[in-house]
Amino acid sequence: MKSEFIGKTQSGIETYALENDNGMRAEIITYGARISRLFVPNKRGELIDVVAGFDTPDEYRDDHGTYFNAIIGRVGNRIGGSGFTLDKKEYKLYANDGANHLHGGKEGFDKKIWTAETGERASLMLSYLSADGEEGYPANLSVRVTYSLTNDNELKIAYDAQSDGTTLCSLTNHAYFNLDGDFKSALNHEIYIKSHAITAVDEELIPHGEILDIENTAFDFSVSKPLGRDINAEEKLLKIARGGYDFNYILDGDNSGAAASAYSKNSGIKMSVYTDRPCMQFYSGNFLDGFTGKKQYPYQSAFCMETQGYPNACNVKEFPSISLKAGEKYHTVTTYKFEICKE
Ligand code: BGC
């Protein structure tokens, strides 16, 4: 197992590689602490790259609003009206999604150059200090993300953060997966999500507090089914989300087994997601429009499983809080495990 420095662009973006003993390999760039490549073995024993992205690090600076495989912060997902009240003080955030704040604002963590340090075995620590007032958020927030590969073909992401005053913190990774590696369509993937409820959204995809029971509906993946099976169902929310899934699933939360999984028969690759987070955004790439990076990325050619706190929790008092107090330790771990399933 190893972690190594690969190179640095003139503009200052570094690339690192992590490798386990089975040849599984992750490449990470310091721009947005993004996973630029993730090679996993398919059923034919070939290593295929299962994340979307670009050929060179600098191209991520214009990622067509995708947030390809980046660390998202301070707060993943949307904050309605781009504002919130904390300790009786009102804060105004940068509005980068109509009137709303999405994925950290104008220049979220996905657009920052992080400081990297290789760790033991196949691991890499990336840190970033977000200054008091950045994008409108209060307090200094120091963040550390550790990526590691294990010999069980897991990519582990540990998120640590600490602030010097009360602020909000809800970090995630925005990886776009296609387990065939060809990014033609994600609709053939078998999806499982251990959840029976989603947070309902308004026309601007903002959760407002209502929780929808999804049992036996088009949104239900608690018994695995192909991503595309019910995607065209007559459901208002599917239409609002540009004809697909873009919803926050409230995980059953019994901490046993995977929170979610995806499987493709073509490659035989199954990916399972383990997390200590209460929720996961399941997004079926409805904003992809066919632009070209490493591959071409048509509409719904990839999916994201973004583990997270409750979205818009800072404005919905019924949702568990995503605030972090001075000195409190934010620590969460999400693991993506890859294996071959033979039929
Ligand atoms: C959101 C989508 C958004 C996408 C950015 C996802 O996490 O849920 O609505 O368009 O990120 O490309």
Over residues 228-256, the mean pLDDT reads 95
pLDDT in tens, 42-76: 999 999 999 999 999 999 999 999 999 999 999 99
Which residue has the least CA distance to atom 12 on ligand 1?
66
**Which pLDDT does position 31 carry in this prediction?**
99
Percent of the chain scoring above 70 in pLDDT:
100
**Which pLDDT does position 212 carry in this prediction?**
98
Assess whether 174 carries a catalytic annotation. Answer: yes
The answer to whether residue 342 scores a pLDDT higher than 80 is no
Distance (Å, whole) CA 290 – CA 57: 20
275, 251 Cβ separation under 8 angstroms:
yes
Distance (Å, whole) CA 143 – CA 38: 23
The answer to whether residue 95 scores a pLDDT higher than 90 is yes
SS3 assignment, position 136 = helix
The answer to whether residue 282 scores a pLDDT higher than 90 is yes
Residue 215 pLDDT grade (very low, low, confident, very high; cuts 50, 70, 90): very high
Task: Name residues contacting ligand 1 (CB within 6 A).
Answer: 65-67, 205, 246, 281, 283, 287, 306
Distance 312 CA to ligand 1 centre (A): 14
Least confident of 318-322, 326-330, 339-343: 339-343
Over residues 316-342, the mean pLDDT reads 97
Question: Right CATH number for 2-340 from 3.90.1150.10, 2.70.98.10, 1.10.1200.120, 3.40.190.10?
Answer: 2.70.98.10
The DSSP string of 249-276 is: EEE-----S-SEEEE-TTT-EEEEEEES
Average pLDDT, the chain: 97
Which residue has the least CA distance to atom 8 on ligand 1?
246
Task: Please state the atom number of ligand 1 nearest to the C-alpha of residue 287.
Answer: 10
H/E run at residue 36: strand 34-41
If one residue of 102, 172, 280 were mutated to test the ligand 1 pocket, choosing by the most ligand atoms within 8 A of its CB, it would be 102
Residue 311 pLDDT grade (very low, low, confident, very high; cuts 50, 70, 90): very high
Over residues 212-233, the mean pLDDT reads 98
Which residue has the least CA distance to atom 9 on ligand 1?
246
Distance 131 CA to ligand 1 centre (A): 25
* CA distances for 258 relative to 170, 246, 269, angstroms: 21, 20, 15
**Which pLDDT does position 33 carry in this prediction?**
99
92-114 as b/e, with b when 16 or more CB fall inside 10 Å?
ebbbbbeebbbbbbeebbbbbbb
H/E run at residue 246: strand 246-251
Assess whether 306 carries a catalytic annotation. Answer: yes
**Which pLDDT does position 255 carry in this prediction?**
73
Q: Which residue from 320, 323, 308, 326 is spatially nearest to 103, judged by alpha carbons? A: 308
**Which pLDDT does position 101 carry in this prediction?**
98
The domain locations on the chain are 2-340
246, 185 Cβ separation under 8 angstroms:
no
Task: Please state the atom number of ligand 1 nearest to the C-alpha of residue 65.
Answer: 12
Catalytic, out of 14, 103, 134, 174: 174
Which residue has the least CA distance to atom 11 on ligand 1?
66
The answer to whether residue 343 scores a pLDDT higher than 80 is no
SS3 assignment, position 189 = coil
Distance 52 CA to ligand 1 centre (A): 14
Distance (Å, whole) CA 150 – CA 158: 13
pTM for this prediction: 0.97
Residue 254 pLDDT grade (very low, low, confident, very high; cuts 50, 70, 90): confident
Q: Residues 6 or more apart from 216 whose CB is under 8 A from it?
A: none
pLDDT in tens, 139-155: 999 999 999 999 999 99
Distance (Å, whole) CA 134 – CA 219: 36
